[in-house]
A and B are shown apart, each in its own frame.
Chain A
Amino acid sequence: MSDNAGIKILICQGTGGISAGAKQVEAEFTRLIAEKGIVAQVGKRCDVVKTGCRGLCANDVLVDVITPELGRITYDFVVPEDVAAILDQHIVANEVIEKKKAKAYYNTFVDQQMRVVMTGCGQIDPERLDAYLEEDGFKAIEKCVKEMKPAEVIDEVKKSGLRGRGGGGFPTGMKWSFCAASPGNHKYLICNADEGDPGAFMDRSILEGDPYCVIEGMMIAAYAIGCDAGYVYVRAEYPLAIDRLQKALDTCYEKGYLGKNIQGWGFDFDMRIKKGAGAFVCGEETALMASIEGERGMPRPRPPFPAVKGLWGFPTNINNVETFANVRHIINKGSDWYASLGTDTTKGTKIFAVTGKVKHTGLVEVPAGMSVRDVIYQVCGGIANNRKFKAVQAGGPSGGCIPAEVLDTPVDYDSLIKAGAMMGSGGLVVMDETTCMVDVARFFLTFTKMESCGKCVPCRIGLKAMLDILERITEGRGEMSDIDTLLEMGATIKKASLCGLGQTAPNPILSTVKYFRHEYEAHIQDKRCPSNSCKELLLWQVVPEKCVKCGACLRACPSNAIKWEKGEVAELIKENCTKCKSCYDACRFMAIE
């Protein structure tokens, strides 16, 4: 690096970063750089760059400082008060502040990953087109339009082995070829950014951190299929993603990267955002199209498939955000390179949102085929609070729970399905011994029941009936025959429902019964919740033998229900207790049950 190279201060500003106070940190940097005359002092430019999500949301605000002398150093948990020290010590005096530097686990977290789709996220300013162009932006679409025929582009994607990252895992190239083969000159392209799965947020982070790469992916798909208009359907709960994508679209139109005769290449493509309005079922492609048309977002039976008759009756191709974000890398680096990553049946990388009772929650991108165990223990540091691992829920409400016995399952589409879960959108919610599996099943069913559009009977009535049974069990009024009823109903609903929501909604129940049947039985026969989670079945008392007299429960209790003095075993006063479980969660020694 030459001496004239500037200094870069990268501040993580995804939704996670902003909620941790990234805006204030940025303002403080800008203010102090000007006030202290830092630029003049060090004789270099100091650029403050706001970037998208860097993955380790639990440690926000993350600030990376890149200087020619010290290279790249990451600071975590930065607050505005730290800014002056970073400027004085690190940038002016060229000394790393060891105390504030992210600890070794941050490097483990980063080094264990393989970033392809998320290369731009956390590195570039998502609101500057130039930043994207510097990273070879729009080179892939230029190569497609100038050097390749549409059929060659589809072939390249087919050869790469890319499968749909929305969760279904249908081969992308094949999907494109169906729509390309449909007759007609007017076709639609839709990007599904209705990421409704609770526990998954990679689509949001991509849109927030690198919106141009999604636009470019869509342009390539549009060229390959022959679409002239595109929609990005974003859920309304993601205001920042909508805002950044809209800015990116406006800039593209302004600079001639969208619209008629893009960059003089003789290729037309128009794009706009369609805001969702809070309905989970709209992630289903036929429901999504109904929503764009301005109707209630209800699915319809297939065939006809969208590739033949989709939006407003025209042939339509729908892919997920992460799928589109992969495309430009396949074109730039070639299908052979892409196919060399991952496993035989799942190529490339996959982003997982690892959350729950794990030490380092966040977004991780790893080559497909890494084992679930490695993702949780190697990359994310294992279980928090020294507790024991119980299960990991993969794939959101459509997925299932994987117990400790099958932790070595590789993360690819087929292995996960074999283990009773699915890739889904890539949410991994880690659960420890304090999580009750019956309660988790009830939770997902409450969600899917509420979000069922009500069009078909198995989903509308069946889910309600199953939920009633689960509620009875968690309240201690279950019967042994309930388990068989649940299994039977689950199988029927899966078979008979109209769309993906109903077809997958029973999965959390089926997988928890399969692996955690003993917990169901404990609830029904012993009227006991083994994880001390179901309110109605709890006694709430301190176990004197386990209590280490630390007083953590007292500090957590909001209603004066704990009596504790230094060196004494805590006592729980039942009259004051609201059963809020704060003490239970605070106790690291499982001394309250």
Chain B
Amino acid sequence: MSNAPAEEIAAEEIDLTEANEIIDKYLTLPGNLMPVLQGIQDAYGFVPKPTIDLVAERLNVYPSQIYGVLTFYAQFHLKPRGKFIIRVCVGTACHVQGAERITETFFGRLGIGHAETTEDLRYTFEKVACLGACGMAPLAMVNDDTYGKMTVQKVDEIIETYNARPMK
């Protein structure tokens, strides 16, 4: 080990009130780890590091176990995500209807790949297994808005629409 002074790690400034409230709500429920983490994810948009320590302490579980759960399920995120989450369904029905060209066009237009976020935090892109609206295949979603019967042209229209939306 060097003698250099330890680099001061700036503690992440984060308001834990909401996380504490979520933990209070599920404290006595058996199997509460997942609902707590889901609540935190809903509230903060992702699962920030300080909340993991808090959950470990208050629910009396090892942080390693929490990380195990967080990394196992596709719906948990450890990094901040974009304001607009673009999901393209790549289920079987969408696949045979050409979902691949939709995803690749998004990749090209946004310059990010699967599960990545643009630097300006505007977009996060995700391929998802099945959104269950196979009759409308191929399907894309931006946040809660669904776009059925997607074409490559529609990709550009969608990006234009959300580029025009304000960030705040």
Chain A 356-370 per-residue mask, 1 if CB under 8 angstroms from chain B, else 0: 110001100000000
Query: At the interface, yes or no: A134 with Cβ under 8 Å from chain B?
Result: no
Choose among B74, B98, B129 the residue that contacts A581 (Cβ–Cβ < 8 A).
Answer: B98
Beta-carbon nearest neighbor of B74 in chain A: A278
Choose among A236, A280, A443 the residue that contacts B92 (Cβ–Cβ < 8 A).
Answer: A443
Beta-carbon contact of B74 and A556 below 8 Å? no
Choose among B33, B92, B94 the residue that contacts A427 (Cβ–Cβ < 8 A).
Answer: B92
B residues 117-148 in Cβ contact with A at 8 Å: 128-137, 139, 144, 146-148
Given contacts A20-B148, A275-B38, A558-B153, contact A58 B135 (CB under 8 A): yes
A residues 10-47 in Cβ contact with B at 8 Å: 15-16, 18-20
Beta-carbon contact of A294 and B32 below 8 Å? yes
Query: At the interface, yes or no: A482 with Cβ under 8 Å from chain B?
Result: no
Query: At the interface, yes or no: A295 with Cβ under 8 Å from chain B?
Result: yes
Query: At the interface, yes or no: B104 with Cβ under 8 Å from chain A?
Result: yes
Instruction: Give CA–CA (A201, B74) in the complex, Å.
Output: 20
Query: At the interface, yes or no: A580 with Cβ under 8 Å from chain B?
Result: yes
Query: At the interface, yes or no: B166 with Cβ under 8 Å from chain A?
Result: no
Query: At the interface, yes or no: B17 with Cβ under 8 Å from chain A?
Result: no
Given contacts A57-B133, A355-B135, contact A294 B69 (CB under 8 A): yes
Choose among B97, B136, B147, B152 the residue that contacts A16 (Cβ–Cβ < 8 A).
Answer: B136
Query: At the interface, yes or no: A554 with Cβ under 8 Å from chain B?
Result: no
Query: At the interface, yes or no: B16 with Cβ under 8 Å from chain A?
Result: no
Query: At the interface, yes or no: A396 with Cβ under 8 Å from chain B?
Result: yes
B-binding segment of A73-81, A192-200, A494-502: A192-200
Q: Which of B31, B69, B137, B148 has the most CB of A within 10 A?
A: B31
B157 to chain A, nearest CB (A): 11
Instruction: Give CA–CA (A516, B119) in the complex, Å.
Output: 45
Query: At the interface, yes or no: A307 with Cβ under 8 Å from chain B?
Result: no
Beta-carbon nearest neighbor of B94 in chain A: A198
Beta-carbon contact of B129 and A447 below 8 Å? yes
Beta-carbon contact of B30 and A237 below 8 Å? no
Q: Which of B38, B73, B146 has the most CB of A within 10 A?
A: B73
Query: At the interface, yes or no: A517 with Cβ under 8 Å from chain B?
Result: no
Beta-carbon contact of B75 and A277 below 8 Å? yes
Beta-carbon nearest neighbor of B87 in chain A: A237
**Chain B residues within an 8 Å CB radius of A292:** 31
B164 to chain A, nearest CB (A): 20
Beta-carbon contact of B93 and A199 below 8 Å? yes
For chain B, which range describes its interface: under 10, 10 to 19, 20 to 34, or 35 or more residues?
Answer: 35 or more
Chain A 198-221 per-residue mask, 1 if CB under 8 angstroms from chain B, else 0: 111100100000000000000000
Choose among A18, A274, A279, A361 the residue that contacts B74 (Cβ–Cβ < 8 A).
Answer: A279
Beta-carbon contact of B91 and A198 below 8 Å? yes
Chain A 303-347 per-residue mask, 1 if CB under 8 angstroms from chain B, else 0: 000000000100000000000000000000000000000000000
**Chain A residues within an 8 Å CB radius of B94:** 198
Given contacts A15-B133, A277-B74, A580-B104, contact A199 B68 (CB under 8 A): no
Query: At the interface, yes or no: B34 with Cβ under 8 Å from chain A?
Result: yes
Beta-carbon contact of B31 and A393 below 8 Å? no
Beta-carbon contact of A558 and B93 below 8 Å? no
Instruction: Give CA–CA (A453, B74) in the complex, Å.
Output: 12
Query: At the interface, yes or no: A49 with Cβ under 8 Å from chain B?
Result: no
Choose among A19, A60, A431, A453 the residue that contacts B96 (Cβ–Cβ < 8 A).
Answer: A431
Query: At the interface, yes or no: A507 with Cβ under 8 Å from chain B?
Result: no
Query: At the interface, yes or no: B80 with Cβ under 8 Å from chain A?
Result: no
Beta-carbon nearest neighbor of A397 in chain B: B92
Choose among B129, B147, B152 the residue that contacts A582 (Cβ–Cβ < 8 A).
Answer: B152
Beta-carbon contact of A582 and B151 below 8 Å? yes
Beta-carbon contact of A277 and B76 below 8 Å? yes
Query: At the interface, yes or no: A238 with Cβ under 8 Å from chain B?
Result: yes
**Chain B residues within an 8 Å CB radius of A396:** 92
**Chain B residues within an 8 Å CB radius of A427:** 92, 134
A199 to chain B, nearest CB (A): 4
**Chain B residues within an 8 Å CB radius of A298:** 72
Instruction: Give CA–CA (A297, B73) in the complex, Å.
Output: 8
**Chain B residues within an 8 Å CB radius of A447:** 129
B74 to chain A, nearest CB (A): 3
**Chain B residues within an 8 Å CB radius of A581:** 98, 101
Given contacts A195-B132, A582-B152, A585-B98, contact A297 B72 (CB under 8 A): yes
Query: At the interface, yes or no: A291 with Cβ under 8 Å from chain B?
Result: yes
19 contacts between A and B (CB under 8 A): A15-B131, A16-B133, A18-B146, A20-B136, A60-B135, A198-B94, A200-B130, A277-B38, A277-B73, A293-B31, A294-B32, A296-B73, A356-B137, A361-B135, A427-B134, A443-B92, A453-B72, A580-B101, A582-B152
Further contacts, 4 of them, CB under 8 A, given A201-B134, A361-B134: A196-B130, A277-B76, A312-B30, A578-B108
